[in-house]
Structure 1
Amino acid sequence: MTQGIAIIGAGMAGLSCATRLTAAGRDVRLYDKGRRPSGRMASRPVEVDGYRFVFDYGAQYMTVRDPGFADAVQAWARGGIVAPWPAAGDDAWVGTPGMDAPLAAMAAPLDVRWSCHVRGIRRDTDGWHVAHDAGEDGPFAEIVVALPAEQVGPLVAGIDDTLAALADAHRSAPCWTVMLGFDRPLALPPLIERDGIIDSAACNAAKPGRSPGEAWTIHATPEWSAAHLEAERDTVIDLLRDALAQRVALPRPVHAAAHRWRYARSVPAGIGSYRLPALALSACGDWLIAPRVESAWLSGQHAATAILGDSG
């Protein structure tokens, strides 16, 4: 596979890049430590005491503004895997039946190695090699790093210190997320944003294509999350539940869980993607543009365009 391209990371940016490269006839292999497509568009089904809840516990929706991304979203809509969500705005869309649905559809035709933790990359005279838990693959003609900024630096340090420094300067803010399931509807709007320590609180059942269980996802603000980064999960659940209870009296939740996103809201570098042609090394991700799903997709497209432009 000496002419192939390896992509480290199969989130929205990596899958977008791979889709574009594959359409141009390139052989692409992706590596991701996750068990399935999700990343920061993750969804989680839960069944407890006869109740079924589905939580979007990453991004609650995606905005659609760029014409190219709008075309991709319209194609997903025709396939029944996204739908508009007017409660979040005229340009807001959600995956159906979960936010991860577009990622699953993008990954399906691609060569993705799931549950594969990449330990290192190296470039020899014959090309790039990827070391992972099961061994080593290569050589590859090109490599693309499609990871959060915090994970980019350690992977490329000593190979491309410029990219490592760029990633280190644009680290993501953390986010504590609490998932609450109730046995009855709450008298609240389906989406609450920027209210005290709550960055957003969304009723997943209010989104199109969702199961009816009263599932609420609460994201804390970046500042609060950073200040409570090492707090116990039960403490975080109590504090964010109390913050939501300031809006309305809450019944006792049937289900309560917390998830800590160490790398949640990116601090954008303001460029489409990164490329060092001399090493055939690229990087893409929302941290290079802006902290949005659309930005991750655009960065992947930008990286693919640069690779195809250099290689002809």
Structure 2
Amino acid sequence: MQQVRLLHADTGVFMRIGIIGAGMAGLSCAQALRHQGHDVIVFDKGRGPGGRMSTRRIGTPLGEAAFDHGAQYLTARDPAFVAQVERWAQDGHVARWLPAGADAWVGTPAMNAPIRAMASDGDVRWNTAIGSLTYDGEWRIGNERFDAAIVAVPAEQVAPLVAAHDAALADAARSAVSDPCWTVMAAFDGPVPTDCDRLTDLGIIGSAVRNSAKPARTGPEAWVLQASADWSRVHIEDAPDTVQRALLAAFAEHVGARSPAVIATSVHRWRYAKVDALKLGAIWNADIRLGACGDWLLGPRIEAAWLSGQQLAEFVGSTNWTVSEQNV
């Protein structure tokens, strides 16, 4: 005889929920589910908070240079997210950044500050890659069992996890296509001669940001150069050195011959940078207690990822469950 837990739609009982992905969507959902009373564990393959809100630090002869090499800023327009951002601002995790607009904010002292604050509130297992999900009435994630499972990873990584359990969810994830983005980080031995801290549409460069000018940043002159989606798509398999030369040359052409010397560089390829979202908000299969959230379900913004996580938590909370024991 084996004793198993059965869940029944009835009056509310708190569940044990596993979430794969500790980005903005996954942590937003986890936070909301914990507020409902659920026991939530989040798994992430990364070494720490960040994902597309990561910051890379590089040693230079003039000191450490920092680069927000993924998302450059976030916007806050939805009232619920505006309230969340204002709480982060009160706690010193974000500050306004006017070069991107009146509703733009950046993490302080680095872009991942809000993610780091959210992760500190709960149980997050870093350095834990989850390659598969098993369902037998309960969900197995890694070596642990859960009443519900949530995937909060890029759309391209969702289908392999859920295809055996929810074909419709897998198909939805396959239909969401993300643009890639090559990113070059460059530190200089002096100020780049431009009055603008954010430049856009510089030929093959879609965005160039003076990272060292953002609030609470220190260190030498540091720029993040992000190639356009079209150029990144064509050159996605190029060698990093080739990409670096191309983007630095395009940047130098724009700022002119007075550009200071480069003293340190790094290159990063984002295969899944900006997604063509499905406008679904979030997906929740109440029959097997499997859900998905992320910017690919709502919009290509940090705000959309947060809202998707909140919406999925609402879906979960709208389904009441009781737990009983049964011998089989």
Identity %: 46
- Amino acid in the other structure paired with 1:164: A
Q: Which runs of 5+ in 2 are unaligned?
A: 6-14, 322-328
Report the Cα distance in structure 2 between the residues aligned to 1:196 and 1:108, rounded to whole angstroms. 41
What is the match of residue 237 of structure 1? 244
- Amino acid in the other structure paired with 2:229: P
Q: Secondary structure at the match of 1:282?
A: strand
CA shift, 1:90, in A, is: 0.4
Report the Cα distance in structure 1 between the residues aligned to 2:284 and 2:92, rounded to whole angstroms. 35
Matched, 1:280 2:292: no
Matched, 1:16 2:28: yes
Instruction: Provide the aligned length of Structure 1 versus Structure 2.
Output: 306
Out of 200, 205, 211, which is 1:198 matched to?
205
Report the Cα distance in structure 1 between the residues aligned to 2:22 and 2:53, rounded to whole angstroms. 12
Question: After the TM superposition, which residues 94-243 of structure 1 pair with which residues of structure 2 at under 5 Å, given as runs?
Answer: 94-125=106-137, 127-131=138-142, 136-138=143-145, 140-188=146-194, 189-243=196-250
Out of 44, 56, 60, which is 1:48 matched to?
60
Report the Cα distance in structure 1 between the residues aligned to 2:61 and 2:202, rounded to whole angstroms. 31
CA shift, 1:50, in A, is: 3.6
CA shift, 1:25, in A, is: 1.1
Report the Cα distance in structure 2 between the residues aligned to 1:238 and 1:90, rounded to whole angstroms. 34
Q: Secondary structure at the match of 1:109?
A: coil
CA shift, 1:271, in A, is: 1.1
Native 8 Å contact 2:191 2:260 kept in 1: no
Q: Secondary structure at the match of 1:262?
A: strand
If you compute each CA radius of gyration, which structure gives the higher value, 1 or 2? 2
What is the match of residue 88 of structure 1? 100
After superposition, give the CA deviation of every residue in 1:168-223 in whole Å (9 maximum; x if it has no partner). Answer: 11021111000000010111210011221111110011111111421100111111
Q: Which moved further from structure 2: 54-63 or 242-251?
A: 242-251
Native 8 Å contact 2:54 2:69 kept in 1: yes
Q: Secondary structure at the match of 1:57?
A: coil
Q: Which moved further from structure 2: 256-265 or 188-197?
A: 188-197
What is the match of residue 261 of structure 1? 270
CA shift, 1:311, in A, is: 2.4
- Amino acid in the other structure paired with 1:167: A
What is the match of residue 326 of structure 2? none
TM-score by length of 2: 0.91
Report the Cα distance in structure 1 between the residues aligned to 2:241 and 2:101, rounded to whole angstroms. 33
- Amino acid in the other structure paired with 2:140: H
- Amino acid in the other structure paired with 2:23: G
- Amino acid in the other structure paired with 2:185: M
Report the Cα distance in structure 1 between the residues aligned to 2:206 and 2:298, rounded to whole angstroms. 21
Report the Cα distance in structure 2 between the residues aligned to 1:263 and 1:299, rounded to whole angstroms. 18
Report the Cα distance in structure 2 between the residues aligned to 1:65 and 1:10, rounded to whole angstroms. 23
Q: Secondary structure at the match of 2:133?
A: strand
Matched, 1:57 2:69: yes
CA shift, 1:52, in A, is: 1.8
Higher relative contact order (CA 8 A, sep 6+): 2
After superposition, give the CA deviation of every residue in 1:104-133 in whole Å (9 maximum; x if it has no partner). Answer: 0000021000000002111113x11113xx
Native 8 Å contact 2:202 2:251 kept in 1: no
Report the Cα distance in structure 2 between the residues aligned to 1:283 and 1:67, rounded to whole angstroms. 23
- Amino acid in the other structure paired with 1:293: I
Q: Which runs of 5+ in 1 are unaligned?
A: none
Matched, 1:303 2:312: yes
CA shift, 1:278, in A, is: 0.7
- Amino acid in the other structure paired with 2:193: A
TM-score by length of 1: 0.96
Report the Cα distance in structure 1 between the residues aligned to 2:261 and 2:237, rounded to whole angstroms. 25
Report the Cα distance in structure 2 between the residues aligned to 1:142 and 1:15, rounded to whole angstroms. 16
After superposition, give the CA deviation of every residue in 1:60-117 in whole Å (9 maximum; x if it has no partner). Answer: 0001101000011000000001000011100000000100000000000210000000
RMSD: 1.3
